[in-house]
Amino acid sequence: MTPNDKETLSQLMDGEWHELDAAQCVKAACSDQAQKETWARYHIVRDVIRNDGIRVDGALTARIHDAIADEPSYSNVSSIHGDTSLNDTPNRLQAEQVASAPKGGNKTQARWGTAFGGFAIAASVALATVVGLNLWQGAPDGGQNRSALVASATGADNNAQAISSVQSVVPGVAVPQLEFVSNRGTYWVTPEAKRSPAMEKRLNSFLSQHIENSPTAERSGMLPYSRLVGYDSVTTTEQ
C-alpha cells in the first residue's frame, strides 16, 4: 500500500469526499487486503477517540499484544546514576542504530528506519486501541454498561477515572495494565467525584496554607506558588 493510499483512506475517514472519486476509492480499498486492514484499524482508532463501542477480532488483539510486548520502556530524563541499562531494550538499540546511521546510508539502513517508523505508528495505534478494548471488555456485565464507563472516563467530565488504572484480560491474550491518563488540564483530579468549585476551592485553600507553612518550600525546588498560578479553575459546577 502506498502513502497515497493511506492519505486517500484518511480523507475518506474524515468525510472529505469532494476531493475524491469516492466510488473508485471504495472499490480500490475493498479489493486490496492491506487497505482493508488499514481501513478497519482507522475505524477502531476513530471509535476509541469518540468513545464508541468497538468490535474486537482475535487476530488484532494478538497483534496488539505483540506490539505492546515489544514496546521499549523509556524515560525523558537520564538516569540519576547514569545507569542506562534499563533503557537498553532491543528496540531502543535499534532506534539508536537508525539515529546514528550516516546520511546517504545504504538501502538496508533506510529499511531499518522505515521499519522502525512503522513500528512506532503501529505501537501508538495499538495503545489507543488497547485502552478501548480494556474499557469495553473490562465492564463487569460483559460490556452492556460500557457506554457509561467510557463516558465517565473520558467524556465532558474526564477527570473522574483519570487516575484509575484499567486492567482486564482479553480472552486468550493477556493485556498489560495501563494507566488511564486523561487529565488534560492542571487541576485536582478526584476519581470518586466530578469537578466542583467547592471541592477545588477547599483543596486549593489547603494547598495555599500548605505552601505558606511548609518549612521546605524553597528546599523542595519548585517555585511554590507556581502550582497555584498554573491552576485551571472551574467556573461552574459540572453536572
Q: Which chain residues interact with other proteins by CB under 8 A?
A: 75-77, 79-81, 163, 181, 183-193, 197-199, 201-210, 212-223, 225-235
Considering the complex, state which of residue 11 and residue 182 has its C-beta at the smaller distance from other proteins. 182
Considering the complex, state which of residue 97 and residue 233 has its C-beta at the smaller distance from other proteins. 233
Q: How far is the CB of 155 from other proteins (least distance, A)?
A: 18
Rg of the chain on CA atoms, in Å: 23
Strand (E) positions, 51-109?
A: none
Q: How far apart are CA 155 and CA 193, in angstroms?
A: 14
Q: Is 48 in contact with 129 (CB distance < 8 Å)?
A: yes
| Surface-to-core class of residue 159, CB atoms within 10 Å of its CB (0-12 exposed, 13-18 middle, 19+ buried) | buried
Considering the complex, state which of residue 6 and residue 227 has its C-beta at the smaller distance from other proteins. 227
Q: How far is the CB of 167 from other proteins (least distance, A)?
A: 17
C-alpha cell, 189: 483530579
C-alpha cell, 228: 497555584
| Residue 170: Cβ within 10 Å count | 20
Q: How far is the CB of 128 from other proteins (least distance, A)?
A: 16
Considering the complex, state which of residue 55 and residue 201 has its C-beta at the smaller distance from other proteins. 201
Considering the complex, state which of residue 167 and residue 214 has its C-beta at the smaller distance from other proteins. 214
Q: How far is the CB of 50 from other proteins (least distance, A)?
A: 22
Q: How far is the CB of 182 from other proteins (least distance, A)?
A: 10
Long-range contacts (CB closer than 8 Å, 24 or more residues apart) made by 192-199: 192/160, 193/160, 194/157, 194/159, 194/160, 194/238, 194/239, 195/157, 195/159, 195/234, 195/238, 196/234, 196/237, 196/238, 197/233, 197/234, 197/235, 197/236, 197/237, 198/237
Considering the complex, state which of residue 98 and residue 128 has its C-beta at the smaller distance from other proteins. 128
Considering the complex, state which of residue 107 and residue 219 has its C-beta at the smaller distance from other proteins. 219
Q: How far apart are CA 38 and CA 9, in angstroms?
A: 8
Q: How far is the CB of 45 from other proteins (least distance, A)?
A: 20
Q: How far is the CB of 127 from other proteins (least distance, A)?
A: 15
